Amino acid sequence: MKREERDLHRLLVEVSRHYGDRDFERPAISVLRATIVSNTKGARFAIHNALQNFECAIVDLLRHFKAPSAPASDADLRAADAIFAFSCGYQLKNLDDPAPRNRQPGKNNTELATIVTSLLVKYRRPLFVQFEIAAVKEFPDIQKFESTKEDLGTKDVISQFVAMATSHKQKLDSVIVVAHGHHIERCIRLLDKYFPDVRGLRPAQANYFDYDPKECQPRAMGPEEYIVSDFVSMAAMTQDVLPGQVTRCKP
């Protein structure tokens, strides 16, 4: 077996284990494996289509898709300084006008808002929330910081949250992360890589893994689309490329 073939086989094994541990089911993992194989030539993976624009050496991806982070203990969650809540997709009243100001939260963000509410009951912490979730409800009696109404990638949203915390002299040693169940690991890894002073905590009791076929972002409509988007965005971290430069859908 050639070196390129060995590296590709190893990547497929590592990716399958990684996404299985993140609760993706076999059909979605099969779609991802087929996508990797069909977009690999020699020693390089390259995907260029309407949604993704990325390429790198297969060897650079080996050992990158390690086991996901474990859920945080209740003691760690109680010691957290804030809650970071990240949206998943959106709906539009008018499909001819995709501007952020015309977005509706949709089912995914409505469910995420419910998770935020349940966590605020138990852990009353300042809330940093992406605007699509904030559109669901007011979250009264909590210090709230909302992202700007722009089409931002997760890393840029985190940058806004950290900047707002800094300007208000808010401590951010650790934060409870709220996100779609298939998104939360990437949020934590972005914090770890680009914001190492802020530890992301996964709440064990707050998981949402459903999808909404009425969403306007393909990745938010189902796991088969989402897993490919996530793989490309995760792979981009090995190249120090901003997620927004990797994919045209918000990572």
Q: Are 86 and 147 in the same domain?
A: yes
Q: Are 78 and 53 in the same domain?
A: no
Asked if 152 and 160 count as a contact pair (C-beta separation under 8 A), the reply is yes
Q: Are 92 and 206 in the same domain?
A: yes
Q: Are 41 and 82 in the same domain?
A: no
End-to-end CA distance of the chain: 35
Q: What is the number of residues in the chain?
A: 251
pTM (2 decimals)? 0.92
The mean pLDDT of the chain is 93
| 66 closest CA partner among 150, 159, 189, 163 | 189
Q: Are 125 and 249 in the same domain?
A: no
Tokens of 190: 């972005």
Q: What are the φ/ψ torsions at residue 191 (nearest 5 degrees)?
A: -60, -45
Q: Total domain count for the chain?
A: 2
Give the pLDDT of the chain (251 residues) as one tens digit per residue. Answer: 799 999 999 999 999 999 999 999 999 999 999 999 999 999 999 999 988 999 999 999 999 999 999 999 999 999 999 999 999 999 998 888 888 888 999 999 999 999 999 999 999 999 999 999 999 999 999 999 999 999 899 999 999 999 999 999 999 999 999 999 999 999 999 999 999 999 999 998 778 999 999 999 999 999 999 999 999 999 999 986 544 444 333 33
Q: Are 78 and 144 in the same domain?
A: yes
Q: Are 80 and 197 in the same domain?
A: yes
Render the burial of 43-54: b for 16+ CB within 10 Å, e for the rest: eebebeeebbeb
Pairing outcome for strands 44-48 and 40-41: antiparallel
Provide the pLDDT for residue 221. 96
Alpha-carbon distance of 235 to 237, in angstroms, equals: 5
Q: Are 212 and 235 in the same domain?
A: no
Provide the pLDDT for residue 95. 86
Provide the pLDDT for residue 143. 96
Q: Are 60 and 94 in the same domain?
A: no
The domain that contains 198 carries what CATH number? 3.40.50
Q: Are 229 and 152 in the same domain?
A: no
Q: Are 166 and 226 in the same domain?
A: no
Domain that holds residue 54: 1-68+217-251
Identify the three-state secondary structure at position 104: strand
Q: Are 35 and 141 in the same domain?
A: no
